[in-house]
Amino acid sequence: MKTLKNWTLQQQADHFVELNVEDRHLLRLYVLESGLMRVLLKRNGELALNRTWSIAPEEDVPWEGRDRESLAGFSLPDFKVEHDAQQLRVSSDRLRVTVHQPLCLSWEHFDGTTWQPLAADRHTGAYLLNAHGDGVEHYQRRQPQDRVYGLGEKSGDLNRVNRRYEMRNLDAMGYNAQSTDPLYKHIPFTLTQRDGVSFGLFYDNLSSSWLDLGNELDNYHLPYRRYRAEAGDLDYYFMLGPKLLDVTKAFVRLTGRTLFQPKWSLGYSGSTMHYTDAPDAQQQLQSFIRLCREHEIPCDSFQLSSGYTSINNKRYVFNWNYDKVPNPNAMSEAFHRAGMKLAANIKPCLLQDHPRYQEVASQGLFIRDSERDRPERSVFWDDEGSHLDFTHPQAVRWWQDNVTEQLLAKGIDSTWNDNNEYEVWDGEARCHGFGTEIAIKHIRPVMPLLMMRASMEAQQRFAPEKRPYLISRSGCAGMQRYVQTWSGDNRTNWQTLRYNIRMGLGMSLSGLFNVGHDVGGFSGDKPDAELFVRWVQNGVMHPRFTIHSWNDDHTVNEPWMYPEVTSMIREAIRLRYRLMPYLYTLAWQASAQDEPMLRPTFLDHEEDEKTYQECDDFLLGRDVLVASVVEQGAREREVYLPHNAHGWYDWHSGNWFAGGQQVTLDAPIDRLPLLVRAGAAIPLGSCESTTNAQLDNIRELQLWPAPGEVTTQGELFDDDGESHGWREGNALWLSWSLKGSATRLDLTLEKRGDYQPAWHEMTILLPPGETRELWVNGEKTARYRLV
């Protein structure tokens, strides 16, 4: 690697400053927003890849990618430039970067009074290029007080310091949730907090890369952090918080907002490899409907694992095994009559003996071998196969035609985009690139991104009046624009339950808000009854709730798998449905306001140092504190209550606790410890009903008033659960304000929007022991009627 040292000012343009580096390379500093700047290094004055699929500050990017040098969607504020022979300084009103000789950058933020240090490159070599080909490196100073979060779906603790991580999408079957790396997703984005201020750093590079956050030491340099990519460009975005939540929101605005999916996607979704692998798959699947009814388990959807496509023991995408599933349309209709939607597993690789392999190969729709004029061949599902090239318009059309004909036309409602890590390890394998050939090493994670987009657009065309729901395991920054995701093929044990919580929070901080895990564990032997109960109790508090398995001992994870605890499983799932109006409001806020649904406790309580300690707690929205039990045999749960002005309530007892203290809660096997922020108002529905808007005729509002004379406020959301009508005002937004005094509680509710829900009246509930009189919109009552 060649260290870049010397630079001169090349030009000052309207929206960037350009430097000439080593008389060969160009480095640009863009001022995109007052708190967002960009550093782009052009090797020999050229880009290795002139497009990006992750940056989407306005509408979605074109299929062929966004011009990497496009400035569309940014406000492009005025900025100030100062320079001499030794340094150059570029300043917005909030963020300032100084370029020093030899080449290194330092960053400052304006705190309202003065400029304060924020971050800095390593001054003993910050930017390195491979002089004989691909490869880039960037080094920054590392401070002992740094807290670093993000990187999407990663194992281990939420604070990433002192570890090295790799971005290389892998099918990590049965991974260790505490240590395995890499995993399924490619999101080289970090959030760093230092001295009470936060900044984000996103490397827009899709090649395999490594981020070392303190694992590496070198005697010749002060402590540093390192980014290295095997190919592509050094192109990074630097964003000022000042709070961590601000950084997450800025990253979502940079890479695209979260898709607002239908309400039924928040319901329980059944799944298991066992049913579709069985020789009588259709009967097994339809028995799931009966068993849900018998055991009174509410369920909104079922996910068909890939066994429905099998020939012998292998999987062949878009091939129905009619011996197993004689009548897909009748099967779909049976699920629909039961109020359940269907999602079908699809894979982007065709095995070499796939019945349609030659058809696809003859049209040139696979990724091409690097040296010969033939499809690339990679290991896939115990054989070899070729991967569809989603940068080829005809491949996209072939895929969409099959999604429509083989799935949607047979009553399947949704696509489950799986096994899409694109493990094509010949980095020079050729992609069509929409007419300009690209080596796969530059865009491997783009393939699952375009796969899910192709599936989404097929669903939109088939049912344009409905919001699409899709799932994808792999992807890169920007995948939140299309799908819900999960943490892949986890292994059944208590350690996974604990560290999957942190993994989900890491994804949420990295812009993936609609996430969950395979409840009960996907691989390994079945969970015992206690672990299964605790996993379900935790799972119902995640945006995605699916019980899914492919157990090594050939058992099946089902809500009724242990009769002695089925009632506990039922009550946990019913609690989720009881909270569905709250969950749905959070889903709308995630899409419309970039608010994470899952939140580490420090995200809303940065001033409380104790919230940064690694723990197993998390917030669902701002208001519900989930204290999952993740230790075998535990019947009590210690939880730290973040310091806030109003305290916390125990959900079960109604007891009030001051914040800023450790409390011990009862945690019998049938109870998930929950707390609620004092001052909150939680909308509740029926634990019996599904997410069908026509049946959703019960609504309650549980108030948790703050002690004393305090006013709090918030907003609730509701609509028909599946259409786009909310965009034109066909939804219900209910703003609330709760004012307390010594003797009285005044709740003010104001509605907007023209949606009329099936419920016409809302009952207002108070916690046990609350003696103050309740007044609603100036009337002494415990009811609110929609007019």
Query: Which tens digits make up the pLDDT trace of 552-602?
Result: 999 999 999 999 999 999 999 999 999 999 999 999 999 999 999 999 999
The vertex-132 CA angle with 130 and 136, nearest 5°, equals 20
Last residue of a domain, one of 255, 290, 311: 255
Q: What is the pLDDT of residue 131?
A: 78
Map residue 84 onto helix, strand or coil.
coil
Domain presence at residue 316 = no
pLDDT tens, residue by residue, 312-332: 989 999 999 999 999 999 999
Q: Is residue 294 part of a domain?
A: no
CATH of the domain at 67: 2.60.40.1760
Q: Which of 348, 376, 375 is nearest to 362 (CA)?
A: 375
Question: Per the domain annotation, does 785 fall within a domain?
Answer: yes
CATH number, residue 608: 2.60.40.1180
Measured at the alpha carbon of residue 691, what is the angle toward residues 687 and 695, in degrees to the nearest 5? 80
Q: Given this model, what pLDDT does residue 133 score?
A: 75
As a whole number of Å, the CA-based R_g of the chain is: 27
Q: Rounded to an integer, what distance in angstroms lies between the CA atom of residue 155 and that of residue 510?
A: 14
Residue 284 has pLDDT above 80, yes or no: yes
> For residues 324 and 279, what is the distance between their CA atoms, to the nearest angstrom?
5
Question: Does the structure show a pLDDT above 80 at 612?
Answer: yes
- In 3D space, the residue among 168, 178, 179, 166 whose CA is nearest the CA of residue 213 turns out to be 166
Q: How confident is the model at residue 378 (pLDDT cuts 50, 70, 90)?
A: very high
| Whether 245 contacts 604, CB under 8 Å | yes
Calculate mean pLDDT across residues 640-662: 97
Q: Distance between CA atoms of 414 and 303, rounded to whole angstroms?
A: 9
pLDDT > 80? residue 617:
yes
Task: Show the domain range for 617.
Answer: 586-787
Q: Starting from the edge strand earliest in sequence, which strands make up the sheet with 773-776, in order?
A: 711-718, 732-740, 744-752, 773-776, 779-780
Q: How far apart are CA 625 and CA 633, in angstroms?
A: 22
* The two structure tokens encoding residue 521: 């564990």
Residue 723 C-alpha from the chain's centroid: 23
- Please state, for a pLDDT cut of 70, what percent of the chain lies above it: 100
Do the Cβ atoms of 17 and 9 come closer than 8 Å? Answer: yes
For CA atoms 749, 604, 476, 16, the dihedral sign is positive
Cα Dmax for the chain: 82
In this prediction, residues 406-422 reach a mean pLDDT of 98
Q: Which of 210, 231, 255 is the last residue of a domain?
A: 255
Kindly state the average pLDDT of the residues 631-653. Answer: 97
Helix (H, G, I), strand (E, B) or coil at 502: helix
The answer to whether 779 and 721 have CB atoms below 8 angstroms apart is no
Query: Which has the closest alpha carbon to 735: 678, 677, 681?
Result: 681
Of 158, 128, 118, nearest in space to 502 by CA:
158
CB 104 within 8 A of CB 120: yes
Residue with tokens 């054989």: 383
Label residue 85 by pLDDT band (50, 70, 90). Answer: confident
Angle at 68 between CA 425 and CA 596, to 5 degrees: 80
What pLDDT score does 132 carry?
77
Between CA 159 and CA 165 the distance in angstroms is 12
- Within a domain: residue 159? no
Label residue 689 by pLDDT band (50, 70, 90). Answer: confident
In this predicted structure, what is the pLDDT of residue 134? Answer: 84
Decide which of 255, 278, 312 is a domain's last residue: 255
pLDDT at 32: 98
Confidence (pTM): 0.97
Neighbouring residues of 337: CB distance < 8 A, sequence distance ≥ 6: none
Lowest-confidence region among 162-166, 260-264, 378-382: 378-382
In a domain, 555, yes or no: no
What mean pLDDT comes out for the span 716-727? Answer: 97
Percentage of the chain modeled with pLDDT above 90? 97
Q: Is 656 within a domain?
A: yes
For residue 180, which of 445, 488, 421 has the smallest C-alpha distance? Answer: 488
Residue 369 structure tokens: 């071998």
Residue pair 611/576 in contact by the 8 Å Cβ criterion: no
Dihedral, 454, 457, 462, 467 alpha carbons, nearest 10: 130
**pLDDT value of position 413:** 98
pLDDT of the residue at 690: 75
For 5, 124, 136, 165, 222, the CA distances from 219, given in Å and listed in that order, are: 20, 12, 22, 22, 7
3-state secondary structure of 627: strand
Residue 250: inside a domain:
yes
Q: Is 718 inside any structural domain?
A: yes
Number of domains in the chain: 2
pLDDT band at 382 (very low <50, low <70, confident <90, very high): confident
Tokens of 433: 């690139």
The structure tokens listed for 466 are 């409905």
